[in-house]
Structure 1
Amino acid sequence: APFVPPAPKPRTQPPSTLEMMRIVYRNPLELWGEHTYNEPWISVTGIGGPLVIANDPGLIRHVLIDNARNYKMATVRQLILRPILRDGLLTAEGEVWRRSRKAMAPMFTPRHIFGFAEPMLKRTLEFVTRYEAGGMSDIAYDMTLLTYDILAETLFSGEIAGEPGSFAKEIDRLFETMGRVDPLDLLRAPEWLPRLTRIRGRKTMAYFRSIVANTVKMREERLKRDPDGVPQDFLTLLLKAG
């Protein structure tokens, strides 16, 4: 029989409030019912308030691009993601979102996107060789390493201030702390109330912010030193746009 990886079984009945909080903290994917994966959009109401989820690509475009002014991100979503991403493209709204999208758009034209394919394939094929000898592997850890390699190569031309092993360990730590949904966020508690998940994740966030700061500093110094030799990648385009 073909191998079927373990996965949450879609729910047929909505959970109680307490059960919902437990599920969301452990694994949010277990929360969604069968219809969530089959309908173009769904509307649900829970402890976080009313929520509409768009699945159809046309609806997603309508909400995020064509008619973005009429829609706001869910409050609970913002409470969860903003401490990690701040005003990034996934959390920004209004003018900040439009400015961020405009700055990033040149890097994600079809020409650039198609150019990512070759280095992604190359890195993946190189990575696969580690399994040829057999043995046991931590796939979650390995996929984080591969993700790091691909992002470093495609978006930063390999010039990133970090070490893959430490990066993977801190990603795991991030998922175990700030990556978990805090019950206070589900209850829409005021932001000034301390969240245990964020307190535990402060050291990890400091690590990632130092990587970002040091990577930007390295590229800025190279731009000053050798402006014509700098790769025209994601980071360079962002710095020039800023």
Structure 2
Amino acid sequence: MNIASARRPIVPPTPPRAPDDMSFFGRLAVIRQNMIATWGQRAYEEDVIQGRLLLHRSFILNRPDAIRHILLNNYENYTRTPAGIRMLRPVLGEGLLIAEGHAWTFQRRTLAPAFTPRATANLVPHMTAVLDETIAKLDAQTGEAVDLREMMQRMTLEIAGRTMFSFGMDRHGPTLRNFVMEYGERLGRPYFLDMVLPVSWPTPMDRARARFRKRWTEFVAMLIAERRAAGKKDGAPPRDLFDLMDEARDPETGKGFSDAQLVDEVATMILAGHETTATALFWALYLLALDPDSQEEVASETRGEHLDSIADIDRQKLTRAVVEETMRLYPPAFLIARAARDKDNAAGVAIGKGDIIMIAPWLLHRHEKLWDQPNAFIPKRFLSMDAPDRFAYLPFGAGPRVCIGAPFAQAESVLALARLIGAFRVELVDTNPVIPYGVVTTQPDHSPMFRITRR
């Protein structure tokens, strides 16, 4: 994509790139701290990088045609890696993101009606109510130093709670945030034995994760019980995602979710729905604080808009482009790792049984062959007719396993960013560079302080 810009775009800071000849054990030491920092310059320039991951060959794929084959044409040949399962199963159980085969097909078919554009449109009032409250809280802090990352986490968690259960998260939010922080800081990081042992062989960290999972599922089951106690009038339309999920039935078999399955699906939707959106909004606000000209353009686009419906959201073309460019530079899922069930040929790449395939949106979105000025923040590249290849831009994955909640997340992100920038001018107080690091998602290395003023 060739992008012409009237002004020099900003280039936000990134971690130093690793030496291309870094040893396996050197990379392993860095992985636990920041996976993004394990990739060297070759990974941003070459189409395919072949290596070894212990007993198996590994491939980093940066070719859209090969990625299309893996994620779409022959996706059933590729499953999550043992390390990936170990990282995700304790918090997501056997929910949609983890399930394979018939279990995944059943869950996907059953959940699909809950995430249609029409269903998303019905949930917008929950979003706008929380945004009104957030803007009122920020009004009381104008001129002060504000931690917008924490504010976005609280806001998106509140939206997740109301859209899922129709009740606020004032009582339960701190507990849920503690679960997320506890897991991300220790249990969600890969250890050596996590990578070398089969999933059926528990590692010491697996035992700690199992203890965490017991407490976590009990907490989610309590939220479900509280929502069920609130009830729903017979014949009344669904009022939230829980109603839609609880009433959902597989269109082919008529089966719904068991209580245990519902716990895993609710956990998946709450975590995926609030943490990734909060992080994307933080990065968008950070980039707009670095780029005041783009910030003013977003504010101009929102001026005079009511922003309380899907139609209003769809009119925010530049704001959507800012969100899309933010997720290009800081993809929530920085790495998609798969293990080959059987040998295959992915657009000329010969893959053997057991080989590890790494598709890294972080690399793909900054690849020098695929993007003009790949490290620069240029939202208007997404307003160009010269759109990127579908398999060169993967903020929500691609193929049959594309994120089912993508329309919901996009609507929430555009609405929130438009409302916040329409209401406030955002500036950075902290001048220290914010460095992204990848553990579970693409997170900032610290939470900088911002100053906000009313427009």
TM-score by length of 1: 0.76
1:144 aligns with 2:153: yes
1:208 aligns with 2:216: yes
Residue identity in the other structure for 2:107 = S
Aligned twin of 1:182: 191
Aligned twin of 1:134: 144
Of 158-167 and 11-20, more deviation after overlay is shown by 158-167
Q: For the residues of structure 1 that align with 2:92 and 2:107, how far apart are their CA atoms?
A: 13
Residue identity in the other structure for 1:21 = L
Residue pair 2:165, 2:227 contacting (<8 A) in 1 also: no
Residue pair 2:18, 2:38 contacting (<8 A) in 1 also: yes
Of 189-198 and 23-32, more deviation after overlay is shown by 189-198
Q: For the residues of structure 1 that align with 2:125 and 2:70, how far apart are their CA atoms?
A: 32
Q: For the residues of structure 2 that align with 1:86 and 1:73, how far apart are their CA atoms?
A: 14
Q: For the residues of structure 1 that align with 2:73 and 2:120, how far apart are their CA atoms?
A: 22
Q: How many residues align?
A: 239
Residue pair 2:54, 2:196 contacting (<8 A) in 1 also: yes
Query: 3-state SS of the aligned residue for 1:45?
Result: strand
Q: For the residues of structure 2 that align with 1:125 and 1:55, how far apart are their CA atoms?
A: 42
Larger radius of gyration: 2
Aligned twin of 1:30: 37
Query: 3-state SS of the aligned residue for 1:26?
Result: coil
1:156 aligns with 2:165: yes
1:96 aligns with 2:106: no
User: Relative to 1, partners in 2 of residues 1:162 and 1:16: Cα closer, same or farther, differing over 3 Å?
Assistant: farther
Of 91-100 and 54-63, more deviation after overlay is shown by 54-63
Q: For the residues of structure 1 that align with 2:112 and 2:233, how far apart are their CA atoms?
A: 25
User: Relative to 1, partners in 2 of residues 1:37 and 1:156: Cα closer, same or farther, differing over 3 Å?
Assistant: farther
Query: 3-state SS of the aligned residue for 1:177?
Result: helix
Kindly provide the CA deviation profile for residues 92-133 of structure 1, in whole angstroms up to 9, marking residues without a partner as x: 110111111112111221223345556445534533543425
Kindly provide the CA deviation profile for residues 202-223 of structure 1, in whole angstroms up to 9, marking residues without a partner as x: 5543443123212222344444
Residue pair 2:69, 2:75 contacting (<8 A) in 1 also: yes
Residue pair 2:83, 2:190 contacting (<8 A) in 1 also: no
1:166 aligns with 2:172: no
Q: For the residues of structure 2 that align with 1:149 and 1:234, how far apart are their CA atoms?
A: 14
Residue identity in the other structure for 1:87 = E
The answer to which structure, 1 or 2, has the higher relative contact order (CA under 8 A, 6+ apart) is 2
Residue pair 2:49, 2:61 contacting (<8 A) in 1 also: yes
Residue identity in the other structure for 1:9 = P
Unmatched segments (≥5 aa) in structure 1? none
Residue pair 2:46, 2:62 contacting (<8 A) in 1 also: yes
Residue pair 1:160, 1:215 contacting (<8 A) in 2 also: no
Q: Which has the higher helix share?
A: 1
* 1:85 maps to which of 70, 85, 92: 92
Q: For the residues of structure 2 that align with 1:48 and 1:83, how far apart are their CA atoms?
A: 26
Q: For the residues of structure 1 that align with 2:72 and 2:236, how far apart are their CA atoms?
A: 35
Q: Which has the higher strand share?
A: 2
Residue pair 1:161, 1:214 contacting (<8 A) in 2 also: no
User: Relative to 1, partners in 2 of residues 1:164 and 1:220: Cα closer, same or farther, differing over 3 Å?
Assistant: closer
Query: 3-state SS of the aligned residue for 1:72?
Result: strand
